[in-house]
Amino acid sequence: MDFSSERVICVDDSFPNPLCRFPEGYVVRGQIYHVIRVRETGGVVIAGKPVVNLLSGEEVGWKPHRFRKLHDNPAEENVEDLECVAV
């Protein structure tokens, strides 16, 4: 899924990668974020929320499954994503 230059909503904020550091904190489920770019490896680079690989020191981005694109209808932006709720 191509997220480049999109506004997205976080649908999964569980289990941050222990091999990475998050100098500005983690993404939060239900919060809206702006995608700066998508790396060649598929990592989603979010404005203000870098993910840095501990081994290489390189910014790697967030896993794309953690986000979904927002709809054009602003009223839908606050709708809970029921598909990602643990039962």
pLDDT digits (tens, 9 = 90+) for 25-62: 999 999 999 999 999 999 999 999 999 999 999 999 99
Q: How confident is the model at residue 71 (pLDDT cuts 50, 70, 90)?
A: confident
If 0-12 CB within 10 Å is exposed, 13-18 middle and 19+ buried, where does residue 6 land? Answer: middle
For residue 85, pLDDT beyond 50:
no
Q: How confident is the model at residue 86 (pLDDT cuts 50, 70, 90)?
A: very low
